[in-house]
Amino acid sequence: MATYLNWKKKTVLPAVVAGLVSLPALADSRLLATSGVTQVEGSAGGGLVPWAVMSGYADEGEWSAGMFHTVTDVQDYRLTVDGASYSRDNRFEISAAQQRFEIKGLAGDIRQEIYGAKVRVLGDLIYDAAPQVAAGIQYKRLLDGDIASLVGAENDSSGVDIYVSATKVHLAALGGYHLLWNATLRATKANQMGLLGYGGDDNNSYELMPEVSALVLLREGVAVGAEYRSKPDNLSAFSEDGYADVFIAWFPNKQVNLTLAYADLGSVAGSEDQNGLYASLTAYFR
């Protein structure tokens, strides 16, 4: 586990080609796996929950960019997500993602764009006694809002989630293995992350929803963990359950990570017991 203490830092930004000549040193300062993986809305963290970490491995004076592809396949639905992120100085992150939600057996997808920003407010997840804390925002734009309108969403076009995350790594804390935990509090009106619109006939106010993650680094570059994400229940047409998963993440180096998970999405748009395989691949270019 000694090389776990040699992780590096990277960062990502989708629009900075003009400044490439003056870019600083290669991101190579943070410990392996402190990038987290990429969650389904494009932010660095777990698969379901954003963490206080910044994407990639950039530290002060460094930047990192990455791309990801995620597929979640359950009984009646398939969610595919593609996106990119940029971070700099281990201080801020921006991201963009597109979700495509397929109802199996029916033609057409529900598509949603998500644009995120996150800033580290205080702390260091390893070297400080207190957790690292970050604040983030996700602007969501639903490209196909017909179904959201039909099920009673108050807004079938766009919504905003705001969250605060606290993340902490405890070195050699669990039988000699490193332990990471994260707690996120999200203010949201999104139905099924926004795929069924925002707000509804049962509730159209922002609610604070807790989200948690925990993992253990079993060996260099291999981690196992679990997550839970609570969600609002705004629509009388359908009940909405929280999301949960158990996962294994592999970080063979600082250029790539792969996550495989069993995801339990509960009731989705009237279909009960939706669970199945989650797979996500993230690649960093610096």
Domain boundary assignment for the chain: 2-284
Single pTM value for the model: 0.88
For residue 107, what pLDDT is reported?
A: 78
What pLDDT score does 15 carry? 32
CA angle 184, 284, 93 (to 5 degrees): 40
Decide if 86 contacts 13 (C-beta within 8 A). Answer: yes
**Alpha carbon distance, N-terminus to C-terminus of the chain:** 23
What's the confidence (pLDDT) of residue 12? 31
Which residue(s) pair with 281 in the sheet? 69, 258
Tokens in use for 260? Answer: 């495989």
d(CA 93, CA 118): 5
CATH 2.40.160.40 fits 2-284, yes or no: yes
Nearest to 56 by CA among 279, 255, 231: 255
Q: Name the region of 115 (left: φ>0; alpha: ψ -120 to 50; beta: rest).
A: beta
Q: Tell me the mean pLDDT per 10 residues along the chain, length 286.
A: 34 31 49 94 98 95 96 97 97 98 89 98 94 98 91 92 97 93 98 96 95 93 97 93 98 96 94 96 92
pLDDT recorded at residue 223: 97
Radius of gyration of the chain (CA): 18
Instruction: Look at residue 4 in the predicted model and tell me its pLDDT.
Output: 35
Q: Supply 217's token pair.
A: 């680094």
